[in-house]
């Protein structure tokens, strides 16, 4: 669409320039006098141009999109097998989550004590640093490797992408959980934070033939 080579390492200034040109060409503002049908088509094209730019300007979104393309999926839907993160990471994240759960039940009784708070904050900082490293690796060397790889090498890099993306997703979830605990503590806990996944809202009013939405088909919630 943007007339740029299909590579992961993109010249962002050039991308922006071409985006502006396309946005001009297809924006509904310049087609007000067109018949309704034509306007709807232009709006759809404009939405597509915007979505494409949003994906392409962000190096991580580019990788995610590439993985989807390589696997022949159109949307996020269809991630049947959960992305696999390295087992060591899973173990580590599990431990942090446990410590966090403990801290939360402590905090439910009163305030988070200073040492726990300091430990959690420190953990968050170190996870943030790792997240940044992971993202830099994805956007930098890994992306460059893909661009110069021979077709035979690609499946291996694709697998590395998927692992890195999964690692990133886990890191982000745990960082978000840590942040929630650290922040909610300052506004006094209301006992509302116990992981919140089980609906306390929703399906109660639903008779058998009338339920809520089932959510993504198998897609993980980030």
Partner 1 sequence: MSSRIIGIDLGTTNSLVAYVDEATGLPRVIPDADGRPLLPSVVAFTPDGIVVGEPARRQLARRPADTVYSVKRLMGRGFEDVKDEARYLPFRILAGEGLVRLAVGGREVTPPEVSAVVLKALKERAERHFGESVEKAVVTVPAYFNDAQRQATKDAGRIAGLDVVRIVNEPTAASLAYGLHRLSEGVVAVYDLGGGTFDVSILRVKDGVFEVLATNGDTHLGGDDFDRVLALWLLEDIAARHHTELDPEAMQELRLAAEAAKIRLSSEERTTLTLPFAGFTYRREMTRADLERLVEPLVRRTLGPCRRALADAGLSAADIDEVVLVGGSTRVPLVRRRVQELFGKTPHSQLNPDEVVALGAAVQAHILAGGITNMLLLDVTPLSLGIESLGGIVNVLIPRNTTIPTSAREMFTTSADGQTLVDLHVLQGERELAKDCRSLGRFELRIDPMPAGMPKIEVTFLIDANGILQVQAKEQRSDKAASIEVKPTYGLNEAEVGRMIEDSFTYAEADVETRMLIEARNEADTVLVHAGRALKQGAHLVDVAERAAIETAVAALRAARSGDDRDRIHEATTAVNRATEHLAEVLMDAALKGALGSRRATEILGER
Would you tell me which residues interact with partner 1 (CB under 8 A)? 16-17, 20, 23-24, 27-30, 32-33, 43-44, 46-48, 50-51, 53-54, 75-78, 196-203, 206, 208-217, 221
- The answer to whether 192 and 141 are in contact (CB under 8 A) is no
Sequence-distant (≥ 6) Cβ neighbours of residue 146 within 8 angstroms: 8, 66, 154, 157, 161
Q: Which is nearer to partner 1, 138 or 157 (CB)?
A: 138
Strand boundaries in 32-118, DSSP class E: none
Dihedral sign, CA of 88, 94, 97, 102? Answer: negative
Minimum CB distance to partner 1 smaller for 16 or for 136: 16
Nearer to partner 1, 2 or 106 (CB): 2
CB atoms within 10 A of CB 51: 10
CB 107 within 8 A of CB 181: yes
CB 137 within 8 A of CB 164: yes
Beta carbon nearer to partner 1, 77 or 95: 77
The least distance separating partner 1 from the CB of residue 159, rounded to whole angstroms, comes to 25
State the minimum distance, in angstroms, from the CB of residue 81 to partner 1.
Answer: 17
- Contact predicate 84/166, CB 8 Å: yes
Q: Which two tokens stand for residue 108?
A: 């439910």
Q: Which is nearer to partner 1, 114 or 205 (CB)?
A: 205
Minimum distance, C-beta of residue 74 to partner 1, in the bound complex (Å): 8
Nearest to 212 by CA among 195, 199, 197: 199
CB of 115 to partner 1, least distance (A): 29
Q: How far is the CB of 43 from partner 1 (least distance, A)?
A: 5
């Amino acid at each position: 669409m943007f007339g740029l080579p299909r590579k992961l390492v993109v010249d962002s200034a050039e991308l922006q320039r071409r985006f502006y040109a396309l946005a001009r060409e297809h924006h509904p503002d310049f087609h007000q006098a067109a018949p309704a049908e034509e306007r709807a088509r232009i709006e759809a094209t404009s939405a597509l141009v915007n979505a494409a730019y949003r994906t392409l300007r962000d190096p991580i979104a580019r990788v995610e999109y590439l993985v989807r393309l390589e696997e022949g999926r159109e949307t996020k839907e269809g991630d049947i097998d959960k992305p696999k993160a390295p087992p060591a990471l899973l173990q580590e994240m599990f431990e942090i989550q446990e410590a966090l759960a403990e801290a939360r039940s402590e905090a439910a009784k009163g305030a988070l004590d200073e040492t726990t708070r300091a430990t959690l904050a420190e953990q968050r900082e170190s996870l943030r640093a790792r997240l940044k490293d992971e993202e830099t690796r994805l956007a930098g060397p890994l992306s460059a490797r893909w661009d110069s790889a021979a077709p035979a090498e690609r499946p291996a890099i694709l697998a590395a992408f998927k692992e890195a993306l999964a690692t990133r997703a886990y890191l982000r979830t745990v960082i978000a959980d840590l942040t929630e605990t650290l922040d909610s503590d300052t506004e006094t806990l209301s006992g509302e934070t116990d992981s919140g996944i089980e609906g306390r809202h929703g399906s109660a009013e639903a008779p058998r033939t009338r339920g809520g939405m089932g959510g993504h088909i198998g897609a993980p919630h980030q």
